[in-house]
A and B are shown apart, each in its own frame.
Chain A
Amino acid sequence: MGHLRFNKELPHKASGTINQLESAFSHVFENMVFFREELDRHSGKAAAALQKKMNDHIGFFSKASSCLLFFADSVQCFAKAVEMTDESDQPVNISPEGRSERSYAFSAERVKSEISINARSLSQAAAKFESNLSTLDEVLNHFETMLRQMMFETKFPWSDVDHIWPEAKRQINAIISEVRKRLQELAKEADELIAELTRVDNLISQQLQRVK
């Protein structure tokens, strides 16, 4: 076996952070899918522009969150397996959550099928959106610290992984920076988005009342 190096505290620290991030990502992701569905009900220029942006963000967040979490969970399980092997000679087999499960958790189609849109849910989602964004931003800080620790203090004992590891570290950092950039964009756009959605929602309510 090649060189192995990892932080023994990693499995304990990582597990909590991964769960927190999964939950924070899920909330923001659900909000984004919800807002996109709301935007679907309107065909104005502003809504169309926002919808295009939202589609792009959803596509990116779906992939980024599932692959970052899959990576972090795999490292966590690897570290746990090393730790347990160091404690006894009993075989260990702790599976990370699978790649297909992870990608399904962040599937826009799945989320879409589970949400129902009404005026109340819009105002609730709008009210929570900004706070969800700031929670995600905060959790992302912990996650980033944990990832840095993972990347700095982990050396894998397989030559092919070790070979791509330096480039992978750079790409992981770039993806996290992209997540941050898009979070900032979303935070900036949030007011504009919520105002547009509320306007459309009011418009639809008025039309519905007229029909009645």
Chain B
Amino acid sequence: MLYYREQEVKNILKSHVSKANSILALAQSNRFLEAFKTSWETVQYGSISSSLTGSVMAFDSTELKSEVDMWIRDLKACKQQAENKFRSLEKPTYEEERKYANIVSDVTVLVDTYQDLKGKIDEIDQDFKNAVRVYRAPMREALTDISILYHSVNHVKGNFTGFKNVSVYVHGIEDTGNGFFESVKEAAKDGDIILRVNRDGSKEYYRVTILNDEKMIEQVSDFKKLQDTAQYKNKTGRLHIIYETEQKNEHRQETSDDLAEKLNEMGLMNENTKIDMFGHSYGGRRSLQFAMDYPDHVRSITSIGTPYDTNYLSTMANNVRWAAEKIGQDPKDTSDYLDFNEKNRNTKDGMEYSNAYTDMASEPMTEDIHHLKSANPEVYQKLLKMDITAAAGYRMEDTVSFSPYYTASGKHKISSDDTVSVESQNGEILGNLIDKKPQIEVEGSGVTNPGHIYEVEDEEFIHLIEETNEKQRQ
């Protein structure tokens, strides 16, 4: 140290070292202890004497950092006070000048040291975050399974217990439930209820009535009012749930876990209720994941536009994220989900994450199904028995001839919906899991106006929804 440490600073450091030791005694973390010890080599006051003898590790890195911020404020206040005092002196003595200079130099070095310590806390915190984020999903899954069992043993009812036929509609990436809402309004029958579960957690209720061949879809202001409707009281119609994911580009596992939690809360995860899943685009993978996790509750899956194998556009978006962001995509949008499969990950500011884009950049879905086949052949058999329809949208294009000898006329079918190949949408990679592979001509005019976005509201697909809902009824 090239300066003398003044008493004012010593007093502050005395309280800091004591606070640091008590925080570390509570945290019982080796890495935080090492970080503080290293910083204290520069602080050069007192010592970090805390030991790791306790058995409970407990810390909150945000609290740790705000504590260090408080220390920085203490020091800056001390400096400010010294400055004010110094400036108020008309003719400062040499000692006074010296004291002021000592405090300024000391505080500058100490603040830098504390800032550096905050950086180290961040680094350790990020390591902890990356290490433990992966366990959040199994923990939630276990707790949801326990809750489903608890509800079953104790006959706990939810707001929608009693509905036997339930359809759940799941959208794809960069999307909302609006498209499905329009199609469901078309496909719904007399006595049905439409429930929208929105991204912000709010719910919208609609009842369907057909009078003199005229269909009426009437919004009901809240659940209390819905309870008074005949559709709710009778429970003979179908409950259509338009489910909007909490994060638009979240991973299929996150959707499955959220959905299970919500359906259980609604009283729909029981042996009397059968769920028919409908998915558009990545929503098909999300639906299949839910069926893999809860095969006893799912009766059928119908998807369209779903990339069941690696998708080129998503791989590009995952690899060149800035370019994807320029065209309005959000490849970094993610929930707190992290996959155990390291291939299904990317990083954002040091934080590892998994989302729909990382999922479609390789074959983790197929790998998961292959794994399931050996890990639990019974579930795989249930999937085989389940009615799974993987519809594919395609577009027609004018045939252009480049031959000087003849002029081509008419139209030809292209092998994709401008976003996903027909082969991928038909789930060829899933082998005999898929029962039906219908192909539907959709609107659109190319990459800038892809057929993919017209699939959900396509008349033929709406007809497929109607047909499925009619067939899958108990």
A residues at B contact (CB < 8 Å): 1-9, 60, 63-64, 66-68, 70-71, 74-75, 77-78, 81-82, 84-87, 89, 91-93, 95-96, 98-101, 103-104, 107, 109-110, 153, 155-158, 160-161, 164-165, 167-168, 171-172, 174-175, 178
18 extra interchain contacts, Cβ-Cβ under 8 A, other than A1-B60, A67-B146, A95-B340?
A: A4-B59, A7-B55, A60-B149, A71-B143, A71-B145, A74-B142, A82-B131, A82-B132, A86-B57, A93-B340, A104-B377, A109-B378, A157-B129, A161-B143, A164-B143, A168-B147, A172-B146, A178-B153
Q: Indicate if the CB atoms of B139 and A175 lie closer than 8 Å.
A: no
Q: How far is the CB of A158 from chain B (nearest CB, A)?
A: 5
In whole angstroms, what is the CA distance A91 to B145 when docked?
Answer: 29
In whole angstroms, what is the CA distance A155 to B56 when docked?
Answer: 11
Q: Dominant SS at the B interface?
A: helix
A-chain residues with CB within 8 Å of residue B147 when the two chains form the complex:
167-168, 171
In whole angstroms, what is the CA distance A172 to B154 when docked?
Answer: 13
A-chain residues with CB within 8 Å of residue B62 when the two chains form the complex:
1-2
B-chain residues with CB within 8 Å of residue A4 when the two chains form the complex:
57-60, 128, 132
Q: Contacting A3 at CB < 8 Å: which of B60, B130, B135, B292?
A: B60
A-chain residues with CB within 8 Å of residue B142 when the two chains form the complex:
67, 70-71, 74, 99
In whole angstroms, what is the CA distance A93 to B339 when docked?
Answer: 10
The yes or no answer to B31 lying at the interface (CB within 8 A) is: yes
Question: Can you list 12 pairs linking A and B with CB atoms under 8 Å apart?
Answer: A1-B129, A2-B60, A5-B59, A60-B149, A74-B142, A82-B131, A86-B128, A100-B379, A158-B336, A164-B140, A164-B143, A168-B143
Q: Indicate if the CB atoms of B135 and A85 lie closer than 8 Å.
A: no
A-chain residues with CB within 8 Å of residue B125 when the two chains form the complex:
1
The yes or no answer to B150 lying at the interface (CB within 8 A) is: yes
A-chain residues with CB within 8 Å of residue B136 when the two chains form the complex:
156, 158, 161
Q: Dominant SS at the A interface?
A: helix
Q: Indicate if the CB atoms of B141 and A70 lie closer than 8 Å.
A: yes
Q: Indicate if the CB atoms of B60 and A85 lie closer than 8 Å.
A: no
B-chain residues with CB within 8 Å of residue A178 when the two chains form the complex:
153
B residues at A contact (CB < 8 Å): 28-31, 55-63, 125, 127-136, 138-143, 145-147, 149-150, 153-154, 261, 292-293, 336, 340, 342, 371-372, 375-379
Known contacts A2-B60, A101-B376, A160-B140; is A86 also within 8 Å of B30 by CB? Answer: yes
Q: Indicate if the CB atoms of B57 and A6 lie closer than 8 Å.
A: yes
Q: Indicate if the CB atoms of B139 and A93 lie closer than 8 Å.
A: no
B-chain residues with CB within 8 Å of residue A68 when the two chains form the complex:
146
Q: How far is the CB of A8 from chain B (nearest CB, A)?
A: 5
Q: Contacting A93 at CB < 8 Å: which of B60, B293, B342, B379?
A: B342
In whole angstroms, what is the CA distance A86 to B124 when docked?
Answer: 8
Q: Contacting A98 at CB < 8 Å: which of B29, B336, B375?
A: B375
In whole angstroms, what is the CA distance A107 to B379 when docked?
Answer: 10
Q: Indicate if the CB atoms of A100 and B376 lie closer than 8 Å.
A: yes
Known contacts A1-B128, A71-B139, A174-B154; is A104 also within 8 Å of B336 by CB? Answer: no
In whole angstroms, what is the CA distance A87 to B31 when docked?
Answer: 7
Instruction: State the 7 A-B residue pairs at the shortest beta-carbon distance, nearest first.
Output: A71-B142, A100-B376, A78-B135, A5-B58, A67-B145, A104-B376, A74-B138
Chain A CB within 10 A, most for which of B61, B135, B145, B342:
B135
Residue on A nearest B152 in the bound complex, by CB: A63
Residue on B nearest A168 in the bound complex, by CB: B143
Residue on A nearest B153 in the bound complex, by CB: A178
Q: Indicate if the CB atoms of B29 and A86 lie closer than 8 Å.
A: yes
In whole angstroms, what is the CA distance A87 to B32 when docked?
Answer: 10
Q: Indicate if the CB atoms of B58 and A99 lie closer than 8 Å.
A: no
Q: How far is the CB of A192 from chain B (nearest CB, A)?
A: 23
Residue on B nearest A108 in the bound complex, by CB: B378
Q: How far is the CB of A34 from chain B (nearest CB, A)?
A: 19
Q: Contacting B293 at CB < 8 Å: which of A84, A99, A168?
A: A99
Residue on A nearest B26 in the bound complex, by CB: A5
A-chain residues with CB within 8 Å of residue B132 when the two chains form the complex:
1, 4, 78, 81-82, 85, 157
Q: How far is the CB of B287 from chain A (nearest CB, A)?
A: 18
Q: Indicate if the CB atoms of B141 and A8 lie closer than 8 Å.
A: no
In whole angstroms, what is the CA distance A172 to B139 when docked?
Answer: 13
A-chain residues with CB within 8 Å of residue B150 when the two chains form the complex:
171, 174-175
In whole angstroms, what is the CA distance A111 to B57 when docked?
Answer: 41
Q: Indicate if the CB atoms of B131 and A91 lie closer than 8 Å.
A: yes
Q: How far is the CB of A19 from chain B (nearest CB, A)?
A: 17
Q: Contacting A99 at CB < 8 Å: which of B57, B128, B138?
A: B138
Residue on B nearest A95 in the bound complex, by CB: B340
A-chain residues with CB within 8 Å of residue B57 when the two chains form the complex:
4-8, 82, 86
B-chain residues with CB within 8 Å of residue A95 when the two chains form the complex:
340
Q: How far is the CB of A148 from chain B (nearest CB, A)?
A: 14
Q: How far is the CB of A210 from chain B (nearest CB, A)?
A: 39
A-chain residues with CB within 8 Å of residue B58 when the two chains form the complex:
3-6, 155
A-chain residues with CB within 8 Å of residue B154 when the two chains form the complex:
174
Q: Contacting B139 at CB < 8 Å: which of A6, A153, A161?
A: A161
In whole angstroms, what is the CA distance A27 to B166 when docked?
Answer: 38
A-chain residues with CB within 8 Å of residue B29 when the two chains form the complex:
86
In whole angstroms, what is the CA distance A175 to B57 when docked?
Answer: 28
Q: Contacting B134 at CB < 8 Å: which of A6, A93, A161?
A: A93
